[in-house]
Each structure stands twice: as C-alpha cells, then as structure tokens.
Amino acid sequence: MTMSSTFLLLFLLLLPCSPSQANLRPNSGERLPRQLSVNYYAKTCPQVDRLVASVTSQQFQDSPAVGPATIRLFFHDCFVGGCDGSILVSTRPGSKQLAEKDAEDNKDLPMAAFEGIKKAKTVVESKCPGVVSCADILAIAARDFVHLTGGPFYQVKKGRWDGKISMASKVRSNLPRANSTVDELLKLFTSKGLTMEDLVVLSGAHSIGFAHCKQFVSRLYNHKGTNQPDPSIDPRLLKALKMTCPRFGGNADVVTPFDVTTPFSFDNAYYSNLEAKMGLLASDQALFLDPRTRPLVQILAKDKQKFFQKFALAMEKMGSVGVKRGRKHGERRKDCSIHLSV
C-alpha cells in the first residue's frame, strides 16, 4: 500500500464521524557572536533566507512529504550534540565509526530531506561561498516547511557553526522513543534545557507527517504485553490502523499519517485528536493522559493562534540547543556531508 492509499483509507474510515557580529573576543582573532541573531549574515549573505526559500518552495511543490521530513531532520540534529548540522554528515567510506545519519533511529529519515538541504547549500554557496553553515541552512529550511504547510512564519536566528563530531553511538540516548513515558520525555527535554511546555508544544509538529507501522503496532495488538489493544485508542482509529498495519507480515514501508484529519496541514488538530483518543504514538497520547501535560493540550486544542505563537518560540529555543561557535568546536562545511578536517 502506498502512502496516499494508506491515508485515503484512514480518511474514509474516519471522516464521516465527525550576529549581531559585534562581539569580538579578545585574542581569538575570530568574530564570535554570543548569541544567535536574525541578522548574523547581514553583511556576508543578506539574501540567505531567500536563497533557501527558492529551494524549499520548489521542493514542497514537487513532493510535500519532504516538509515534515525536514522538520524532523532538524529536531534530530538539535537533540544529538546540538543544532550543528552533524546529522548531515556521511559515514567516511571504510570507517568503522558510523555517523549520526546511519544510526538505527535515523534510518527512516527520508533521503529527500537530506537532498533538499544539499541543494539549498549548493544554491547558497553559489552566491555566498564559504559563509553560511549547514546547520543554519537546516534551521531555515525547517522554518520554511513549517510555514509552507500552513504553520507560523518566524524569523530564524542564525550563527550556528557546523559540528566537527557526528557519531551514531550518541543518537539512541538523545532521542525520544515512540513509547517513551512522559517522565522519560521530560527527563530528555529538560536535559536539553527545554521545559514541559516546550515538550507539549513541539510535539505539535506531529500535526503533519507520517509514521511507520513498527512505531505503534504493539499498541494495536499487544499493549504492554496484555495481548489486547491499548484502551486509549479510539475504536474506529484502531480498526483503521489494524487494516493498515497487520500484526505479522505487514509491509515495513507502509506509513500512516499522524493527523488523520489534516495530515498535510500544520494546525492544532493534533491536540484535538489527542482529546479524541486519536493520538498515533503512545508518546503522543501520553501527553493527554498525563495530568501534568493535559491542561496545555486542552488549551492548544482550542486556540490555534496560541499554538502557533508558542510553537515559533519553542522552535527558536530548540534551535539554540548546543550550538557551536568558533573554530575550536566548529567548522563551516562546503559540502554538508563531509567534515572539513577529513
């Protein structure tokens, strides 16, 4: 079954119911911004946002699924060693040490998202050679796709350098899992300097995009080893998901939308779906089941503008996790997939 037929099936079954560059560090000889800034490239590449947009808008027209894929790519970059473009690096041929990209948890990130960033980098390099980091291009592209799918537009702060380290072994412990509990999610998010509110708000990115059956199939047939479905799934959704994802022998490539009502539209339906027991992952539904996070889910379900406002701020916050500045920890790669030092 293809992505579109999967979506159609679910839809049919469910529809009727309802830098500043001023901060100079003495002795370093390098211009190191203390903070990211919207105008970081004002002198060196003022048109960077426009250059990236020329690629993202075309890509979105050709293949809308690249939107959610790129937003997820940015999230996985930021959570593993900071927003430093390290997820874009390829494993060196012949090397035993795999790069982040080749970690099990990143295997399902669609190639189209990597290719889009590569294309954007090529366009940016043609106008502003050696200036803009891959990490900043990824942050700008993620914002573009939030906006292109109907979400808020926000200014992207820039000034990230690309990281020199990309290790698959760092991935697993730094990413949440589809069956993470709220306690586990909170622990992970707070370890990145993010709050409970950020967790609930950023999870709203699941308003768009798709997940493979393996991420939630145990909820359908054998919830917590009971041999029964998860009681917190709406029975109609359960039926539809079971048709898409058999217990055994299903097609591993089949995906299903997070938001069955508006899968390509970035909106707050994700939260009303949680209220209606229509969360796809256990980690999504847990945000409504847990009394600590439920009140915010309810607020965001009612107020799209509030969600947009909070989401833009939370993306800015996530986009500043672990950023690198300067040559000691960073580099500006010409090709996002290859470390300079190689």
- Residue 61 has φ and ψ, to the nearest 5°, of -65, -45
Residues in the chain: 342
CB of 258 closer than 8 Å to CB of 284: yes
Q: Which of residues 89-108 bind ligand HEM (CB under 6 A)?
A: 108
Binding of residue 310 to ligand HEM (CB under 6 A): no
By CB under 6 A, residue 82 contacts ligand HEM: no
Alpha-carbon span 334 to 331, nearest angstrom: 10
Taking CB atoms, the residue at the shortest distance from ligand HEM is 209
Q: Does 160 interact with ligand HEM (rule: CB under 6 A)? A: no
Q: Pick the closer one to ligand HEM by CB: 69 or 233.
A: 69
Task: Give the bridge partners for 210, in sequence order.
Answer: 257
* Nearer to ligand HEM among residue 128 and residue 175 (C-beta): 175
3-state SS, residue 47: coil
> 134 in helix, strand or coil?
helix
Which helix or strand (DSSP H or E) is residue 162 part of?
strand 162-163
Indicate whether 148 belongs to the interface with ligand HEM (CB under 6 A): no
Distance in angstroms (rounded) separating the CA atoms of residues 284 and 133: 33
The end-to-end CA distance of the chain, in Å, is: 42
- Catalytic residue status for 76: yes
Question: For ligand HEM, which residue of 103, 205, 238, 336 counts as binding (CB under 6 A)?
Answer: 205
42 binds ligand HEM per the rule CB under 6 A: no
**Which 3 state secondary structure label does DSSP give 24?**
strand
CB of 85 to ligand HEM, least distance (A): 16
Can you tell me which of 9, 32, 64, 110 binds ligand HEM, judged by CB under 6 A?
110
Residue 180 as a binder of ligand HEM (CB under 6 A): the answer is yes
Stretch that binds ligand HEM, among 152-160, 203-211, 319-327, 334-342 (CB under 6 A): 203-211
Cβ 183 to ligand HEM shortest distance, Å: 13
CB of 57 to ligand HEM, least distance (A): 18
- In 10 A of CB 176, how many CB atoms? 18
d(CA 160, CA 87): 14
Smaller CB separation from ligand HEM, 98 or 287 = 287
Give 203 or 273: the residue with its C-beta nearer to ligand HEM.
203
Which tokens go with 310? 């909070």
Backbone φ and ψ of 211, nearest 5°: -135, 150
Identified binder of ligand HEM from the candidate list 6, 37, 59, 215, rule CB under 6 A: 215
Give the nearer residue to ligand HEM in terms of CB position, either 87 or 199: 199
Binding-residue total with ligand HEM (CB under 6 A): 25
Of 32, 34, 326, 340, the closest CA to residue 165 belongs to: 340
Regarding 52 and contact with ligand HEM (CB under 6 A), the answer is no
Pick from 210, 266, 307, 308 the residue near ligand HEM by CB under 6 A: 210
- Beta pairing, strands 330-331 & 255-257: unpaired
Token reading at 94: 């012949």
Q: Which residue has the tokens 């029964």?
A: 228
Contact pick of 177, 239, 294, 304 for ligand HEM (by CB under 6 A)? 177
CA 298/CA 258 separation, integer angstroms: 18
Q: Between residues 41 and 288, which has the closer beta carbon with respect to ligand HEM?
A: 288
Is-contact 156 140, C-beta < 8 A?
yes
- The residue within the footprint of ligand HEM, chosen from 68, 116, 163, 279 (CB under 6 A), is 68
Active site residues: 76
Q: Which residues sit at the interface with ligand HEM, rule CB under 6 A?
A: 68-69, 71-72, 75, 108, 110, 176-178, 180, 185, 199, 202-203, 205-206, 208-212, 215, 281, 283
